[in-house]
Amino acid sequence: MDLTGKVAVVTGSGRGLGLAYASALVAAGAAVVVNDVDEETTEQAVKEIAAAGGRVAGEAVPVGDAEAADRLVGKAVAEFGRLDIMVTNAGILRDRVLWKMSDEDFDDVIRVHLRGTFTCARAAVRQLREQGEGGRLILACSPAGQRGNFGQTNYAAAKAGIAAMARTWAMECAKANITANALVPVAATAMTKTIPAFAPYVQAWEERGEPLPAWLRRGEGFGTAEDVAGLVVYLASDASSGVTGQAIGIGGDKLSLWSHPDEVATAYADGGWDADAIATTWSTSVGKKPESYGIPAPPAPES
């Protein structure tokens, strides 16, 4: 993929997945604005990418409000003259079960993930429409937003909302040749390191350089941040011009397309449904095969 002449903003790109995305975009020829809430982390990411010969600038600002989004888009235009790609990756975790989750836990996650995606995409689309040459919105989602996950009310809600925004923006931005897609990565990061089933493998990879086992890379679709970055480059490229409104998963050796919510069973009653009629027919009609929920635990390796 050749992204020469393209300019991208990647939020939350000081480390982890975001840094992998920014590095891969630069390697493909794009100029990139990296971002992190911490100034030192942002500067370190800029130095790392620049040392590899990339065109890069940094903007340390907490993603969430409109001012931060405008600063990021403004940085791209000031440093590189334009914007073509917005990758909304910034995120935090405040995991608690429902009855222990505080208002602050909920609001903080929604502000960074959901509101931050909205404000950054809005600022980007305004610039892209003004340029009149199309563009790309690549919005980080999660399996938790597709299926729910224990202890992640705030995170799952935000990520589900982002997937819904991608579908909405695909329609709204189509005439301007701006695509919008939800990226659903699964990778060894500081966030997934907190998941007990993944923790020992992430730790072994980080500390001793042990490769993630094949059963985890293929069976669970769980790999490194670099395994995910190729999808970002593809979605940023001209080759993906016909791909929009999709939720696309990637991780390890696995690439997938997630389904959208749809009616899977229907029943009809003349005159409508009362509670007794629903109770009578539920288990033999629309409720005969309930939908599953939650993220399945990784399969245990064969001994």
Task: Report the amino acid identity of residue 71.
Answer: R
H/E stretch holding 229: helix 225-236
Angle between helices 66-80 and 116-131 (to 10 degrees): 40
Is residue 25 within 8 A of residue 49, CB to CB? The reply is no
Is residue 11 within 8 A of residue 87, CB to CB? The reply is yes
Task: Report the amino acid identity of residue 82.
Answer: R
Q: Is 210 exposed, middle or buried (0-12, 13-18, 19+ CB in 10 A)?
A: exposed
3-class secondary-structure state, position 228: helix
Pairing of strands 254-257, 247-251: antiparallel
H/E stretch holding 32: strand 31-36
Which residue, 94, 83, 159, is CA-closest to 120?
83
**201 is a catalytic site residue:** no
Pick the catalytic residue: 21, 155, 201, 234? 155
3-class secondary-structure state, position 210: coil
Residue 55: count of CB within 10 angstroms of its CB: 14
Give the Cα-Cα-Cα angle 75, 13, 15 (nearest 5 degrees): 145
Which residue, 71, 85, 177, is CA-closest to 137?
85
Residues classed as catalytic: 155
